[in-house]
Amino acid sequence: MATSNLSAYDAQSVPDASNMIFGIVVAEWNPGITGALLDGCVNTLEKHGALPENIHVKRVPGSFELIYGAHQMTLNDGYDAVIILGSVIRGETPHFDYICQGVTAGIARLNATSNIPVIYGLLTTNDMQQARDRAGGRLGNKGDECAIVAIKMAKF
């Protein structure tokens, strides 16, 4: 279980994002969670200088489709980083394992083969409360963390 706040970071260590362009691919599945992740991500990008017109959001039906969405964004010239945001909550079947493994492998492959970083923002939780805790709840917001990672990796 995570014990640190996902929204805690040293703001002085974050580069200025005012001339960076970000693509965000967000899953529609579990919209209460992914919407909160998206809000945190966008707010944090803007807090560090990203202009609203330089933050491009695309939606896909579910978490598995994040791979395709991110891949399409990596083919588009102009993005400094792409962020994926999704939420998979364990159920009664092995579907959880297949989706989590597939998305993880797909995003890892994109990071190894594309010219821009793809930031992994997929929550993989055992229940809805764990997802809420990581999407603006008591453990912060994974969207904030993804925004900071995207800015730092875009500067890399």
Are 42 and 55 a contacting pair, CB within 8 Å?
yes
Cα separation, 110 vs 116, in Å, equals 9
Are 41 and 7 a contacting pair, CB within 8 Å?
no
Active-site pick, 48, 56, 71, 95: 95
56 is catalytic: no
Question: Exposed, middle or buried, 120 (CB in 10 Å: 0-12/13-18/19+)?
Answer: buried
The catalytic residue positions are 95
